[in-house]
C-alpha cells in the first residue's frame, strides 16, 4: 500500500514539475541553427547574426551566482546550442564561455556526457577541437588555431547525422 501511495505521489510531483523555460528557448535556437545550410552564404550570415542570442545564454550561466535545481539539465541544452552554433561563431566565443563554465562552475562531466550524445558528427568534432584548443594547458598551445576543417567535414558523405 505504501509503495502505491509513494508511486502516486511521485507521479503527481513529476506532473507538476516546472518546465525549464531556458531549455525551451535554447532548444528553439538550436533548431534554428540546425535548419541552416553552412554552405549557403546567406545562411552563414543568418547564423552569425544569431550569435548574440547564444552568447546571452552562455554569459548568463557564467554570471549566475548559484546553481539552480535544473542547472545540469540547462547546461546540457546549452552545450547542444553551442555545438550547433560553433560553425557560425567566428571568434568561438561560445566555446570560450563553456571553458569558463568548466573551470568556474565545474561542468566538465555534464559537458562530456552531453557531447557524447551529439549526433551531428561535424558539429561534435568541431566543438571538441575548439574546446581542446581552448582548454589546452601545455606550453605551445594556440587557442586561435583549431586543427579542424568544418567545410571539409561537411563535404564527406558521412557528415550528416
Contacts of 66 (CB under 8 A, 6+ apart): none
Is 7's pLDDT higher than 60? no
Grid coordinates representing 73 are 539539465
- Over the stretch 89-131, which tens digit does the pLDDT of each residue have? 999 999 999 999 999 999 999 999 999 999 999 999 999 999 9
Grid coordinates representing 126 are 568541431
Which segments of 16-137 does DSSP mark as H helices, in order?
21-34, 41-49, 51-63, 71-85, 93-105, 108-117, 121-135
pLDDT band for position 160 (50/70/90)? low
- Over the stretch 50-95, which tens digit does the pLDDT of each residue have? 999 999 999 999 998 888 889 999 999 999 999 999 999 999 999 9
- Over the stretch 14-28, which tens digit does the pLDDT of each residue have? 434 567 999 999 999
What is the spatial distance between Cα 159 and Cα 119, in angstroms, rounded to a whole number?
10
pLDDT band for position 148 (50/70/90)? confident
CA 83 to chain centre: 5
State what percent of residues in the chain have pLDDT above 90.
69
What is the per-residue pLDDT for 50? 98
Nearest-10 Cα torsion for 121, 123, 126, 127: -120
Place of cell 535548419: 35
Task: Kindly report the number of other CB atoms within 10 A of residue 52's CB atom.
Answer: 8
Is 32's pLDDT higher than 90? yes
DSSP 156: S
What is the per-residue pLDDT for 10? 46
Task: Kindly report the number of other CB atoms within 10 A of residue 100's CB atom.
Answer: 15
Domain locations along the chain: 20-159
Amino acid at each position: 500500500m505504501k509503495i502505491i501511495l509513494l508511486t502516486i505521489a511521485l507521479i503527481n510531483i513529476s506532473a507538476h514539475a516546472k518546465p525549464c523555460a531556458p531549455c525551451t528557448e535554447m532548444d528553439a535556437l538550436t533548431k534554428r541553427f540546425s535548419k541552416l545550410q553552412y554552405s549557403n552564404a546567406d545562411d552563414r550570415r543568418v547564423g552569425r547574426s544569431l550569435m548574440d542570442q547564444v552568447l546571452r545564454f552562455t554569459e548568463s550561466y557564467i554570471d549566475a551566482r548559484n546553481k539552480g535545481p535544473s542547472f545540469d539539465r540547462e547546461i546540457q541544452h546549452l552545450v547542444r546550442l553551442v555545438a550547433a552554433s560553433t560553425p557560425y561563431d567566428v571568434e568561438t566565443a561560445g566555446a570560450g564561455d563553456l571553458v569558463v563554465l568548466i573551470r568556474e562552475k565545474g561542468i566538465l562531466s555534464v559537458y562530456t556526457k552531453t557531447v557524447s550524445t551529439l549526433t551531428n558528427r561535424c558539429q561534435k568534432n568541431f566543438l571538441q577541437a575548439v574546446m581542446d584548443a581552448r582548454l589546452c594547458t601545455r606550453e605551445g598551445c594556440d587557442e586561435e588555431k583549431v586543427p579542424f576543417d568544418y567545410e571539409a567535414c561537411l563535404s564527406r558523405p558521412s557528415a550528416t547525422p
